[in-house]
Amino acid sequence: MKQFGMHVSILIGLVLLVSLPTIGLVNYLEASAKTSATYKETTVAGIDVSGMTREEAIIRLDNAIKDFNNTPFTLTLVDGTALEVGKDVVSFNVDATLDGIETSGEYPLVTTVDEELLTPYLNNQPVTLTMVTPPLVEAASNFNSDVILEMTATESEVVSSITISPTPAMRSAVERMNGFEMEAGDIFSLKTFGEDFDALSTLGSSMYQLFAATPFQILERVQHERLPAGVELGYDVKIDDRSNFAVQNTEQTSYALIVLEEGNTMTIQLLGKAFVGAYESRVEDVTSVPFQNVVRFSSALTAGSSSVTQSGQTGESGKLYRVRITETGESLELLGFDFYEPIPEIVTKSSVPVPEPEPEPEPTEPIIIPILPDNPEEWLNEWLLNDDVQDNNDDGYEQQPPVQQEDPTAVPNEGAVG
């Protein structure tokens, strides 16, 4: 049994020893035949390689590629704008091209596009990589430097747009959006374009306006407790750890976001096939709710004083509708109902009682203080004399001149008659 197995092994070895060189020889002969064979009535990218061997065709095509790369592509957009695009964005595979030639005929060069190198040429232009890459490959594979995008003119148009004045953080997020494509059923998630929630919240309000004027489905949207300053009622969007803004392309064709920058403003456009009917957004049923006045008392305030502890703010509400306009009229779809409660005004007053005012004193007669003379003794004597006179006047009698009394010892007048 062991001898039989050994014989089988030896036989297999002899077969391989004979067949392997034969296989190698066949492959060599086939490769040699391909190398020595000549092409008949064959062109590659417009270059005639008829009658050339493979090696000759490679040399001829390599030289043609060098000549082709001397001038840039001229890319003509739908609106007539012409862009120059460097030839470094494309590469050619001559070997793969020649391997694919089996019969006579016209063949394009196998061409690939480096989208990473192509993207900077398309920044701030109303086109996407998907719109540019196929026609660019077709032109390059036939050594054509003129790329015209006219074929997209009837398929794509601006179906919705919004213009903003972005902050630096918003600008970074918007730049990431440029060229974002949404195939049928794809979802746009705002949080994937940035990390600054405050900037994304402000930007979310604009994106809400953009998509509200389309038939896209609003999947997620949350409002703030208070309407942020500068945000229009009905378009409030809050972005945080738990909240996002997301929409879904419910159409059967793809759409792309294109960003155009001019000065300090950026315009975000949604580009794609026109919708059936025109769409717009509208805020209706706007109401306001007055705030209440609340009075509180505190002993910490001085008596009779008060202060406004909380400023009042009027509440408001509004409904956002998506409006579809057709030949038969308008149809409304409620997208959101925003309500912001009023904030009461709180006034704090002092609870300390105000003290009673003290009674005013009765008026008194003024005291007249005479001016002292230079000689105090004279003044004192004069004052005493005036004081005596005043005392006599105070008795109530009119002062009479003194009566002269006769001297009883005096001798009567002799001439008098008795």
Write down the pLDDT at residue 127. Answer: 75
Average pLDDT value for the chain:
83
Q: Is residue 5 part of a domain?
A: no
Query: Percent of the chain at pLDDT above 70?
Result: 78
Q: Check whether residue 113 and residue 193 sit in a common domain.
A: no
The pLDDT, as a whole number, for residue 346 is 93
Window from 10-19, 100-109, 184-193 with minimum mean pLDDT: 10-19
On the question of pLDDT at 149 being above 80, the answer is no
Same domain, 96 and 58: yes
Compute and round to an integer the Cα radius of gyration of the chain: 55
Give the model confidence (pLDDT) of 20-63 as tens digits: 555 554 454 454 444 457 888 899 999 999 999 999 999 999 99
| Farthest-apart Cα atoms in the chain, separation | 224
Regarding whether 287 and 269 lie in a shared domain, the answer is no
In angstroms, how far is the first alpha carbon of the chain from the final one? 222
Question: Of the segments 66-80, 140-154, 287-301, 317-331, which one has the largest average pLDDT value?
Answer: 317-331
- Would residue 16 count as lying in a domain? no
Residue 391 covered by a domain? no
Reference 182, options 159, 203, 151; nearest CA is: 159
Record the tokens describing residue 407, joined without a space: 């001297």
Domain boundary among 304, 321, 350: 350
> Are 55 and 102 part of one and the same domain?
yes
Report yes or no: 222 and 229 within 8 Å, Cβ to Cβ: no
Model pLDDT, residue 148: 83
Domain range enclosing 113: 34-154
How far is Cα of residue 84 from the mean position of the Cα atoms in its chain? 32
Residue 376 lies in a domain: no
**pLDDT digits over 237-279, tens only?**
999 999 999 999 999 999 999 888 888 999 999 999 999 999 9
Q: pTM of the predicted model, to two decimals?
A: 0.59
Structure token pair of residue 394: 């105070």
pLDDT score of 136 more than 50: yes
Q: Which residues, 6 or more positions from 363, have their beta carbon under 8 angstroms from its beta carbon?
A: none
Please check whether residue 403 lies inside any domain of the structure.
no
Give the DSSP letter of residue 134.
H
Q: How confident is the model at residue 4 (pLDDT cuts 50, 70, 90)?
A: low
Which residue, 273, 249, 279, is CA-closest to 157? Answer: 273
Residues in the chain: 418
Q: Which two tokens stand for residue 79?
A: 């609106």
Structure confidence by residue, pLDDT tens digits, 294-348: 999 888 888 888 888 888 889 999 999 999 999 999 999 999 999 999 999 999 9
Considering the domain architecture, whether residues 201 and 96 belong to the same structural domain is answered as no
Band of the pLDDT at 373, cuts 50, 70, 90?
Answer: low
The pLDDT, as a whole number, for residue 11 is 62
Say if residue 74's pLDDT is above 70. Answer: yes
The total domain count for the chain is 3
Token pair in block for residue 19: 């067949």
126 and 202 in a common domain? no
Task: Say yes or no to pLDDT of 18 above 70.
Answer: no
pLDDT above 70 (res 162): yes
- Regarding whether 125 and 62 lie in a shared domain, the answer is yes
Please indicate, yes or no, if residue 394 is contained in any of the structural domains.
no
The model's pLDDT over 177-220, given as tens digits with 9 standing for 90+, comes to 988 889 999 999 999 999 999 999 999 999 999 999 999 999 99
Q: Indicate the residue among 123, 154, 185 that finishes a domain.
A: 154
Among 227, 246, 275, the domain boundary falls at 275
Is the model's pLDDT at 123 over the cut of 90? no
Shared domain check, 41 and 150: yes
> What pLDDT does 65 receive?
94
Residues 175 and 148 grouped into a single domain: no
Tell whether 149 and 172 lie within a shared domain.
no
State pLDDT tens for residues 227-237. Answer: 999 999 999 99
Decide: 215 and 250 in contact? Cβ < 8 Å.
Answer: yes
Q: Are residues 146 and 165 in the same domain?
A: no
pLDDT in tens, 378-418: 766 766 666 665 555 555 445 555 555 555 555 555 444 43
Q: Tell me: do 311 and 212 sit in the same domain.
A: no
> Exposure string (b/e) for 167-203, b if CB count within 10 Å is 16 or more?
eebbbebbbebbbbbbeeeeebebbebbebbebbbbb
Asked if residue 286 belongs to a domain, the reply is yes
Pick the residue with more confidence: 406 or 70? 70
More confident residue, 208 or 126: 208
Percent of the chain with pLDDT over 90: 52
Residue 125's pLDDT is: 75
Q: Is residue 104 part of a domain?
A: yes
Q: What is the per-residue pLDDT for 84?
A: 92
Question: Rounded to an integer, what distance in angstroms lies between the CA atom of residue 67 and that of residue 70?
Answer: 6
Side-chain-side CA neighbours of residue 366 (13 Å): 3
Whole-number pLDDT of residue 351: 85
∠ CA 251-252-253, rounded to 5°: 95
Q: Give Cα separations from 242 to 167, 211, 239 (angstroms).
A: 23, 21, 8
